[in-house]
Amino acid sequence: MNILSPLQSRRFNRQSKQKTLQIITFRLDQEWFALMLEKINKVILLNQIYGDPKGTGISLTTYQNQELVVIDVGYKIFGNTPNYQTIIDKFKQKTEPYYLIILENSQKEKIGLPIDSPPKIKRVSETALKPLPQIYLKRENIKCLSSNIIELQDESPSHFFVLDKDKLF
């Protein structure tokens, strides 16, 4: 039987009480966002997208030999006009890789969210999750947000808007 010293015991108690969250972070239009890792099905390199001739922000790509709906994240989050032409041009030129975050809702429907920066996996303390002010949420400056932000000390960037997967669908 191992006997813990008082110092080891305090360290063990502190570590066991702090829960950590795993998130994926990415940048869009100069803002940083996070999605909880357990809500993400997969992240892949983006294949060719097609099927949005009217610029609605919803198109298609092929994933595992099936059509997958792709939603322009900038359009969905900021209400910007869809930027698929930029994505298509960069895809054709192969200048920068685009990534596709694949989410699945409770009905097992999948959507893809194209992002133009490599996503990063981070572990953060549950205490880093802070509520957004209600006034900010009511203004809907950024759509599809949960009611939280992740605030990290001594890191750059230090703030991540947490997206609500259900609102993205």
Tens digits of per-residue pLDDT, 104-118?
A: 877 888 889 888 788
Tell whether 70 is covered by a domain.
yes
The total of structural domains in the chain comes to 1
Counting residues of the chain whose pLDDT is more than 70, the rounded percentage is 75
Q: Which band of pLDDT confidence, cut at 50, 70 and 90, is reported for residue 76?
A: confident
Q: Model pTM?
A: 0.72
Whether 8 is in a domain gets the answer: no
Give the domain extent around 145. 21-164
| Exposed / middle / buried, residue 117 (Cβ in 10 Å: 0-12, 13-18, 19+) | middle
Most confident of 4-18, 31-45, 138-152: 31-45
Higher pLDDT, 156 or 110: 110
Residues 132-138, mean pLDDT to the nearest whole number: 75
| 112: in domain | yes
Query: What's the pLDDT score for residue 166?
Result: 75
Smallest CA-to-CA distance from 85 within 110, 49, 119 is with: 49
Residue 6: inside a domain = no
